[in-house]
Amino acid sequence: MKKNTFYLAGAALAGAAVFAFFAQALLAENAEAVTISEVESFQLPYGAGGRMCQGLAWDGTYLWCVNSDTHSGVPEILKIYYDEIGGTGSVEDSFDIPGEDTQFHKGLTWDGTYLLTAWGEYPGRIYIIDPENPGGDPNYLTLGFSLPYGLAYHYVEGEAGYLWTVANDSGYIYKLNRDNGSTVSSFNTTSDIGAERKPAGLAFDGEYLWLAAFGKNDAILQYTTAGSLVESIVIEDLPGDIERPHPIGVTWNDDGDYLWYVDCCTDTFYRIQILFE
């Protein structure tokens, strides 16, 4: 385990909790200042065929990630326990993603009952998986576009809520009906990301969307749900000894106390504690 200390400025409200992302000097409009955030990280050992953790989700106890680079060619979902005392992570369980034997499963999110994963061929699909009974033919939502990557759940009290996803080829972020996958609204991020990057991970904090874009000068972009860019954070400009970490999957714990992201190239997971004034 290694620890770095990051200084943060910039936050978004997530219900009663305030969610903040890290940056050297991230100043968002109407942001609430934070002081010091301690970052802890752990790395999973590589499996027999290597690993490429991408989509990331948190269920209140465990982290889950999509491993789309297995020796068998069948993508799997890993259940990961984080030991806060030891600062280490371990794979507690895993299962193959049913229904498809391709590596196009990317995004992952948790809706309180099910794991949902984005499948990127055409037409795109959102698979709905019960982690207690992952075998058999899963239910899925059919989308009207291809290559959905990042995936985030949008909780709405008393309703099914929404899903947010980003298309890796077009750069559009879509707000989807959780019940049937139909598009509610969308906006294009291409001009913000630039030709040197591709959109990947997506998270929703209750008010703002956070988009991970990888390639040259990997970045995290903060958006309003209406599609306005708030901030763009270049990963290489962050303090510490992180070297091109390629953040692909992003999530946070249910209390909004910690932000998690995973580096797909090294299977390193970062947990960021947010301290508020």
Contact indicator for 126, 113 with CB cutoff of 8 Å: no
Query: φ, ψ for residue 70 (rounded to 5)?
Result: -95, 160
Three-class SS of 143-182: CCCCCEEEEEEECCCCCCCEEEEEECCCCEEEEEECCCCC
Average pLDDT, the chain: 76
Grade residue 51 by pLDDT with cuts at 50, 70 and 90: low
Measured between alpha carbons, how far is 263 from 139 in angstroms, rounded to an integer? 29
| pLDDT, tens digit (0-9, with 9 covering 90-100), for 155-208 | 999 999 999 999 988 999 999 999 999 999 999 999 999 888 888 889 888 888
Share of the chain above pLDDT 90, in %: 33
Whether residue 112 is predicted with pLDDT greater than 80 in this model: the reply is yes
Question: With bands split at pLDDT 50, 70 and 90, how would you rate the model's confidence at 11?
Answer: very low
Q: Is 180 exposed, middle or buried (0-12, 13-18, 19+ CB in 10 A)?
A: exposed
For the domain made up of 47-268, give the CATH fold. Methylamine Dehydrogenase; Chain H (2.130.10)
Q: Which of 53-57, 77-81, 149-153, 235-239 shows the lowest per-residue confidence on average (mean pLDDT)? A: 235-239
**Residues in contact with 148: Cβ distance below 8 Å, sequence separation at least 6, in sequence order:** 106, 107, 118, 119, 120, 124, 126, 165, 166, 167, 168, 174
Strand-pairing partners, residue 154, are: 162
Confidence category of residue 37, pLDDT binned at 50, 70, 90: low
CB atoms within 10 A of CB 188: 13
Domain ranges, ordered by start, for the chain: 47-268
**8 Å CB contact between 48 and 9:** no
